[in-house]
Structure 1
């Protein structure tokens, strides 16, 4: 038997070496990939667990200090307005919230209670907010604590009025008293115009000024806008018959009581309040250019069965005017020798920008001196207001 001789021993040894290297490299890659894959799987599991964190159903009962069930109490997740509930006739509630989330239980006239949502039944007792109930409100026969007032009374203190840079009391009261409606009267938006005021909607008896509330300034009937907002201590709005009955038929549409600031015994106190503000127009319509206006005007006329006032010649002329090749803003009718208002107009005027300023500055300065002794107190105040209007043409300032 003939012995086989290996003619390429180095080549065989080289191939075996390469196979060994490839096997080692594959083992290293497998060893490296295994912990990384395991870590990825662990992270994915944790991520899924975090995303799929179960919401626990938390139930509870809300009672007052006397053990009575409280109806209509707000229960919501803190900093999340979309998760909330309200207690029923028995004071019970049920809410689905993330485990460990903070629940806020609140009700008007009571202190807010915060608890953790753990999926267990809660028994909550709410305590009255003494600061709210002890607040003094002005009524027709003096002043009382809010807890003792049975009628509907809204109150605004001086801090709210002073924080609003407005020119009169009507503007200062907008949006701060529920049920108090203020609107621009027949004089429109003139700076010196007074607003129409009604409480809880329009009345069914009388019209015009007869349906407006009775306004008393320190007990004397007067104009609400005749008082400097910085001189007001508080404003009480008597909304129903129970709170305004002392004034009789004149208070059929409610009463607004204005109490001005009074001096206090002690050294003279000098107060200054000044502000500079900027105003701009709201909801200003955006106008089409003259070419778009002409197209839509023609389309409206065609929909009504008429022919449009802008001919193709007029449309071409408007385009030429916009391109700068035509300078005339209007063309004349050769037969009547009159300017043509529609078909002969080329101008591309934005009338809102023509009539209104983009913004205007205004300034207001108030100075008051108060003081006195135990028997006599005094308050002296004055103010300067320079309110600029938004109209570009004509006098539109108020001082």
Structure 2
């Protein structure tokens, strides 16, 4: 951030989009709650970007500076992403102001309002320079403006469209009967929410879904988009392997790796089906968690971040499906048609182990994780 911009902000009084803090605490639970609450309130308030300037007395506006060099965008983003839903787009940077250093959290104007605190379910908003809970009619008003919480179309701050694979994008539009040229590609990318234009700066960013589907190097911005394979079988490529890339790349890499690790008689297709579901339905707002596969003699466990939420409006007790924007793209791009099968994923998983053993499905709301536990290779007659 430019010195001139910070200087102008310091001349202003605290408001719905500006907060001064002597310091922030990202090390204790109470401090994390307070920071998430303040960011959530500013993000929900009307207007453009908001700012929290750290190192300034809120009453006197005395510049005291900050000394905590452990503060960085990743640590602050982890606090916000783990406690706010949908994820709130922010940026953090140190700014030299005279002899003192200030920290500036920029809170971008996202398209997913209202934002909510995960632990208590509360919606916060700024009223002048104070933080307050949103009234019922305010929440309803925001919901009427944004009828769905579509996390996939949330912009990823500082992301570049240069990381996108244009040939994959063109192939997606071709599957929809749309002919793309270099002249109209950007226009269609914006319209399809692959990219997003920030109203304040005019900068074009990539959305979460755009990176997941159309970028081979999305780990630059989304390090939690990975599959961690922990192999505890002796003599079968034991150790830890980390897989990264676009979602279709993850599908291919995980299938190929499992075929080299597991015996030929083991029903690998059932494990792959669990991975397919994990890639599609995981909660991508959980920045500190990854898809994990643990392979041992006794079991093969596929863990997916984000517990499954029961749809209370469905008499058949189905679960709410996440990431439908991503689902549309995977159907269009996956030539193996892994997401166009005549039977539900759970049925496919069970079928492979029909005469082998029982599969356990563990949906933990407390850990916020979904696990599929398969019998290990010791149950297979090799």
1 or 2 for the larger relative contact order (CA 8 Å, sep ≥6)?
A: 2
**Range into which the TM-score falls when normalised by the shorter chain:** under 0.3
Structure number having the greater helix percentage: 2
TM-score (norm 1): 0.22
TM-score (norm 2): 0.23
Structure number having the greater strand percentage: 1
